[in-house]
Amino acid sequence: MPQSPAFLITVLVLNLLTDMCIILIPIPIILPLRISWGRKIGLMIMFTAGIFVMIAAILRVYFVLVVSLFGFDFLFSNR
């Protein structure tokens, strides 16, 4: 059932794992580049901006679960 807590948490964990893998892929490619450390850090910050997406996913599941405790179904509002 898509609204069950077990389903939401399972999807959250799988999404976080794939997001983390995608975030970590460019780091070993950026480090050996022959550019200044400032540019390397800038590139890593740009690629790791996906952390905000991960935080949003965590907050979405948290609020869906908390709001469902009060008897409201707000799953539709997150699509």
pLDDT per residue over 21-68, tens digit each? 988 898 899 889 999 999 999 988 888 888 998 998 898 888 888 876
pLDDT per residue over 17-32, tens digit each? 999 998 889 889 988 9
User: Which amino acid is it at 13?
Assistant: V
- Which residue, 56, 57, 61, is CA-closest to 3? 61
79 has pLDDT over 60: no
Domain boundaries of the chain, sorted by first residue:
5-78
77 has pLDDT over 70: no
User: Pseudo-torsion of CA 32, 36, 37, 43, nearest 10°?
Assistant: -80
Predicted TM-score (pTM) of the model is 0.72
Cα 48 to Cα 53: distance, rounded to the nearest angstrom: 10
